[in-house]
Structure formats: structure tokens, C-alpha cells
Amino acid sequence: MSSSIASTRFSVLDRSRTREGHTHPEALRDTVRLAGELEGLGYHRLWVSEHHGVPGVAGSAPTVLAAAVAAATRTIRVGTGGVMLPNHRPLVVAEQFGVLESLFPGRIDMGLGRSVGFTDGVRRALGRDKEDAEDFEAQLRELLGWFRGTSPTGVHARPAEGLAVPPFVLAMGEGAGIAARLGLPMVIGDLRNRDRMRRGIDHYRAGFRPSAWASEPYVVISGTIAVAGTPEEARRLLIPEAWAMAYSRTHGTFPPLPPAERVEALTMTAKERGFYESGLTGHIAGTEEQVAHELETVLKETGAQEVLVTTSTYDREALLDSYRRLAAITSG
């Protein structure tokens, strides 16, 4: 194992993706079970996500799901990747994470993003619009202020005030600059666009200002990593998500994940085929040896301290096997 891999933390973001023929409750229970399995394999964190009105995703309430995950585990860090701050009042977010940290001290992470609802209908239901994302930096400053007891309102966020819940910024668009100015750790993806990723990381490091939250830059790179016995088996792990993404680009909604064999039997339109083939490229996928080599390359290019794996597929046992193989690579 290379020194780059050995010195890097590996974590997982699980989106609680639904699978054809399975229910939303099953997807949520799968996430909780996966957390225990990842804990046993030595992964550093398990994060959950926030999506609203998406047929293919059950994870709509990340702090609630994070509580269930933390209660079912003992040592793995648990957090969000992330809570979409424009959808919530900062005081409420501070209170939720204050409760989590109070119940599971020293294990909770606060990953924060600036996205709003995926469709106009979802944004209306949330009472938000795209312009709300423009206030992200101000919302983030307010949120951090609740933990430090610096709100000018005379109100105190209990039990959050005085607690140190590590904040991470999901670096979408201007996120890298915001993370740098506020002195916060940054999560950046995806691995499919290495040049853009490197530019974002360089911008972050160049503008980083030490803060009470972080004395130096901390970079988490995120993306899909699939490990299997053969390159062909690793590629099959990518097929369900690639098709779901292609379907969303052509039909406007993310569907549940289908089995790989059903996707391979589909007759696709030229547009669907183009998006699908594109969705299969640019990821880190292959045998243990191939993945280790690719990881070593990207870690040397980025200098990242952590990798957040975001792989989704239909076959849960094959996904778990991929995580086992990756853990064997990263643990030597």
C-alpha cells in the first residue's frame, strides 16, 4: 500500500437509494445496517444525505436518519452530506445537531450544502427558490454563531451552544471560496472531473483563513469507487446508477435503481444512450490493484486528507463486497 493511501481516511456517503421491488423503509434500514458493517471494516465516517420528493431516494430527513445510525453503532463518526442549509432556519439546524452531539458525544459531523429543491414543485413545497442559495454564506455564519453563543438576538441555541460539532462545507459552485473564508473543512467532488476538482482545491487552499473550527485546510474528495474481482464486475456495479442518472436527465426524475441485467436489456434512445455511456466513465472502478493505482494517483494530485465514497448500486451484497475490498486496500 502506498504512503498516500495509508495516510488517508476513507468514509462513505450513503443516499439511502431505493431499489426496484423494494420499499423506502427497506432503503432506510439498509443504510442503518450498512453503517454497522462499515464500522466493522474500519471506515472513518458514515454520512447520509438530504433529498426531497425523489422516487429513488428515501433519505429526506438526514438528522433523523443520522440519529438512527449513531444509535446502531459505537465508534464510526456519523453525519450529513449534507443538510441543505437554504431549506432550514440556522437555529433549528443548530438545535438538531446540538441534540445529536449531546446524545452521541464526539461522533457527530455537520456536513452542510447550499442546494435547494431539485424541481420547481419541490422548491414551492419547501417555501424556497433558487435565490435562497445565494444567502448560504450568511446562513452558515449564523449557524456557526449559534454554537459559539454570538447571536445578537439574545436567544441561545440549546443544547448546541458551547458544543464543538465539526462543520464541513459541500463545495458546490462558490462553496470552496466560502469554506476558505470561514476556515472550514471542504468536501469536493466529483472524481469524474479532476481538473475542476483540482482548481477548486487550489482556490480553497489559497484563500483559507484559520478559524476556531480548523487551523489549516482540510480537503475531502468524493466520488464513486467500485472494486470487484474483475474489471467487468466492477463496471456492472456502475450500471444501475448510470441508468438512473440518464433517466433523470431525459425524464426529469430519479427512479429507483434497477438491476444491471434489466438495464443491459433496454432499448435506449440515442439521447438516453449518450447520458448512460457518459455515466459509466470517469469513476474509479476495477480490481484491487487497479483501484489502488488510481487512488494513489488522485491522492497525489489533490493532496486530499480524506476520500468520501458515494457508490450506489442495485446489488447490496455486491456493494458491500466492494467496500470490503476497498477496506483491504486502504488498511494494507
Q: Round to the nearest angstrom and report the end-to-end CA distance of the chain.
A: 6
User: Taking the CA atoms of the chain, what radius of gyration do you get in angstroms?
Assistant: 19
- Helical ranges in the chain per DSSP H: 3-6, 24-41, 62-71, 90-103, 120-126, 136-148, 175-182, 194-207, 231-251, 260-264, 270-279, 288-302, 316-331
> Using CA atoms, how far apart are residues 162 and 156, in angstroms rounded to an integer?
10
Residue-wise pLDDT for 226-280, tens only, equals: 999 999 999 999 999 999 999 999 998 889 999 999 999 999 999 999 999 999 9
- pLDDT: which is higher, 156 or 131: 156
Question: pTM for this one?
Answer: 0.94
> Using CA atoms, how far apart are residues 253 and 274, in angstroms rounded to an integer?
17
Domain regions of the chain by residue span: 3-231+285-331
Residue-wise pLDDT for 75-107, tens only, equals: 999 999 999 999 999 999 999 999 999 999 999
> Are the beta carbons of 185 and 177 closer than 8 angstroms?
no
Beta bridge partners of 17: 57
3-state secondary structure at position 85: helix
Name the amino acid, one letter, at 318. A
- φ, ψ of residue 206 in degrees (nearest 5): -65, -35
Tell me: pLDDT of 288 over 60.
yes
Give residue 118's pLDDT band: very low, low, confident or very high (50, 70, 90). low
Residue-wise pLDDT for 174-217, tens only, equals: 889 999 999 999 999 978 889 999 999 999 999 999 999 999 99
Tell me: pLDDT of 161 over 70.
yes
> Are the beta carbons of 6 and 41 closer than 8 angstroms?
no
Q: Which fold has domain 3-231+285-331?
A: TIM Barrel (3.20.20)
Beta bridge partners of 167: 110
Q: How many CA atoms lie within 13 A of 251 on its CB side?
A: 14
